[in-house]
Amino acid sequence: MITASHNRKEDNGYKVYWETGAQITSPPDKEILKCIEECVESWNGSWNDNLVDTSPLKKDPLQDICRKYMEDLKKICFYRYPSGNELNSKTTLKFVHTSFHGVEHDYVQLAFQVFGFKPPIPVPEQKDPNPDFSTVKCPNPEEGESVLELSLRLAEKENARIVLATDPDADRLAVAELQENDCWKVFTGNELAALFGWWMFDCWRKNRSRNADVKNVYMLATTVSSKILKAIALKEGFHFEETLPGFKWIGSRIKDLLEKGKEVLFAFEESIGFLCGTSVLDKDGVSAAVVIAEMASYLETSNVTLKEQLSKVYEKYGYHMSKTSYFLCYDPPTIKNIFERLRNFESPKEYPKFCGKFAILHIRDVTTGYDSSQPNKQSVLPVSKNSQMITFTFQNGCVATLRTSGTEPKIKYYAEMCASLTCVHFSPGQSDTALLEEELKNLIEALIENFLEPSKNGLTWRSV
């Protein structure tokens, strides 16, 4: 199956899915590649409409797939009939949902119905599909409050405390919550993952069968995402694994684990891509939206907000402060030179030992397959020669990654301070979050100044 892969018409592309439901992770062989090329070519106006109309194979599977998907959603719903707990139907919370002119309005409405909720309030101007995305500059909920304006104003009018925003192809989810000071908290992907990780494991523990073994349970994240799931796994006894960036790698690994009889509760990438359960092997904004709604409704019974619960998760498993952003660079040779300089920093084939005043403990370069933390110096993650990605682990506990985007002219950086990995005054229960944030801020400034050199290389900071 081939699907469109981007929200903006100028960034149009395609993804290829195999019969497993996961994207392919390696280049297809020549025969498959030829088939893909023929399919793509047919998109350019060469469909034989008469052949399609007269084919006995013609069938629209949408309704059947939708029905099966909604039935599958019940596996990750814990507070409605037949559980005997009708919490979802009784909640006083109101939810606003925006589709950003995409395809998912009807499916989010159905998902809420399956979970026993009243339907979320749609943003009328953004409810129906519109390829011109007429109400937003960029229909990407990852950009935060700047693109959520219509949703937030509607929520204030309707007295709704939670805003759910799915991107036009329904695979990502952004969440905003109204705080006591009447300001909105827009959660990052890593923050939402901390909540999802806590929730999915807590629900599994409460509902597991007598023979269910925690050692059979897995959660996954891409390597540029927060390490919060790793911290939860270490404390609770289940397994955590990292993959290369991109849900195709997560989907492929989940397939392998399921075939071995393992149970995967949750997986995510920091760019607000989440998968609760394994009904699909890709990020899924529809199921993530309704799971967050159930989580918020459950917390409301104890007068706890999502933000307050996030603090509880960090207090229990260690504070994880992260920052992600990017620079634009439209010159591929410049991008290559930036990364090659890091591989030959002070002398040929020598990576940097410091970034400003910050000492580097380990370096992993998946473009070349190098990892200084491994006995054989070989990266455990697959080599990815077609993209640039270097990860630095610092002595102060910060983990920072520089990588290129596969679809846009960007150099991205990801940095996280993990309290459980740093010195004693950052340990769980004693964390000085202001100190943690200051340390992270200073390290990112050093990373940009010493490694990216934006002025020298003509890099443009993200505009939003």
What residues act catalytically? Answer: 5
Q: How far is CA 391 from CA 232, 351, 376, 447, in A?
A: 22, 11, 17, 12
Burial zone of 407 (CB within 10 Å; 0-12 exposed, 13-18 middle, 19+ buried): exposed
Cis peptide preceding 82, ω within 30 of 0: yes
Distances, alpha carbon 283 to alpha carbons 21, 68, 268, 450, in Å: 11, 18, 7, 35
Question: How far, CA to CA in Å, does 179 sit from each of 221, 296, 390?
Answer: 29, 13, 38
Nearest CA-CA partner of 91 in 83, 80, 107, 76: 80
Task: Scan for tokens 């805003």, then name that residue.
Answer: 163
Q: How far apart are CA 89 and CA 190, in angstroms?
A: 29
Q: Give rounded-to-5 percent helix, strand, coil for the chain.
A: 40, 20, 40
- Any idea what DSSP says for residue 425? G
Asked if 295 contacts 247 with a C-beta cutoff of 8 angstroms, the reply is no
Alpha-carbon gap, residue 405 to 464, rounded angstroms: 17
Structure tokens at 85: 């707990």
CA dihedral 286, 234, 353, 381 (to 10 degrees): -60
Contact in structure between 127 and 103 (CB atoms under 8 Å): no
Q: Which residues contact 149 (CB under 8 A, 6 or more apart)?
A: none
Place of tokens 């003509």: 458
Cα 370 off chain centre by:
26
